[in-house]
Amino acid sequence: MSESNETKWPEDVLERLSGYGERVGKKVGEAVNEFTTWLRAEYSVDNPLSEDPFYLTQWSEQFVIETRNLGGSSGGGRETVTFVGMFIGAENENRDQRANVMERAMSVFKSNRSRAVDEGHIGIVTAKGGEWHVNGQPSGERLQGSDLPWFAFEHNDEILCLLNKQNDSPKPIAPTSVSRTIYFLGSAEDSNEIKKWRVNVQGNNMDAPYKRWTACKIQVVEPKEDRDTLYTNRDFAEKVEYTDKWLPETLRRAFSAERLLTDDNMHNEYVDLADLLEAHSERKVIGANGTTYNPVVITKGYISLLNKEPSESTVDPTGRSYRLNITNLGLQSRYGRDSFASSVTVWIPGRMNDEDHPFEYELDGIEGNWTPYAEKTQVIIVGRLRIRPYKDEMLPSIGALGIYVPHKTARPSGGTGSTNLNQFGGDQQ
């Protein structure tokens, strides 16, 4: 590939491919060619330069991670480094990163079966002589009763598979590649730069019982500079070490969740409720196709409305969601205590309600001693910030990813007292 062609690629992509080339002893052009072949095989992308630069960057990072030297890890995976901090939330849904590949391949298959097979998009899976075959060639997978092989799926009356087209002899690949994003507030062990990280986990790691809001050490693949995603090995969950011993004794108090999450001297993730509109404008990401990607923020407030009854939801996988509203003095001072804008709605997914005790706190800080809290309780929210129009105003709302309730300031459910917004003070407007 010529230098002129290379320059058409986004700078972030070339940076990653250049680093990959240096590691494996190849020129940038060779790395670009490998990446192009990988894109065609993994995501059915035939013309990468016509794709959204945002996704090209994500794909290039994935390519570099997947092709990293696997040696030197005791778990048989990629080399890892230690990060320290705490888990603070998780995405509600698991994502199939291969869904677009499947959709494109099956679209070709449905419109032109012969083309899909001849071009290596789809393989026809058959059983012969006690072994599974793909397009008439033995796969090495023996028949196990009536079970399909790991790479196969049924379509109408046929058994098919996706194919990896990286070489002249396409090999079957799994029809899905499901992962979940977990959020981690911390830094590399040898760094003092605390920030929010996206931790990509797969397999059993997606449903592992991670302890949130407590100091820990994790093992992750070293991220590229200026990237916020941490990739993991299969043994990620079992290697998490819940400890604060890596902290000097004088700093352990400051690293408690209620202090760390809201300390804007230690990181830039915290946003006051009254500043959410400005934060959305500053932190949102606009893709090349015009799509707005809402930012994830940390904020806190006092509960002004608590609704534990589910509402029907067409977007939540469980079909239901929950809500609470939070307020603070700054928000009321800006809009007035009686204004509809004086509180922010926090939407709680059905999965979080089922798994994460969003309406409870640990009484006296005792692990597992879950107790319902009441309105007026202070909560710290980790969530995706959205903006919507309402009555000629733009209002923020938050899709919760994590909810932390400091036990020292929690109000047990069943107490008395007014739940009117006036109780929180603030200047009347």
* Local confidence pLDDT in tens for the 429 residues of the chain: 333 344 478 888 888 888 787 766 777 888 888 888 888 877 778 788 888 888 888 888 888 776 653 333 334 467 889 999 999 999 999 988 888 889 999 999 999 999 999 988 999 999 998 899 999 999 888 888 888 988 999 999 999 999 987 666 788 888 988 899 999 999 999 888 899 999 999 888 998 999 999 999 999 998 887 789 999 988 899 999 999 999 888 888 888 999 999 999 999 999 999 999 999 999 988 877 778 889 999 999 999 999 999 999 999 999 999 999 999 998 888 888 888 889 999 999 999 999 999 999 999 888 889 999 999 999 999 999 999 988 888 899 999 999 999 999 999 997 444 444 454 444 433
Query: Do 276 and 344 contact (CB within 8 A), yes or no?
Result: yes
Reply yes or no on domain 273-424 having CATH 3.40.630.30.
Answer: no
Find, among 380, 357, 404, the residue nearest to 302 by Cα.
380
With H, G, I as helix, E, B as strand and everything else as coil, classify residue 96.
strand
What is the radius of gyration, based on Cα positions, of the chain?
A: 25
Assigned token pair, 280? 């959305």
Query: What pLDDT was estimated at residue 77?
Result: 62
Assigned token pair, 336? 């007035």
pTM score: 0.73
Query: Do 58 and 52 contact (CB within 8 A), yes or no?
Result: no
Query: What pLDDT was estimated at residue 2?
Result: 39
Query: What pLDDT was estimated at residue 67?
Result: 63
CA–CA separation, 308 vs 25, rounded Å?
58
Q: Which amino acid is at 375?
A: E
Beta strands in 221-268 (DSSP E): 229-231
Architecture of domain 81-95+178-260: Beta Barrel (2.40)
Would you list the domain boundaries of the chain? 3-66, 81-95+178-260, 98-173, 273-424
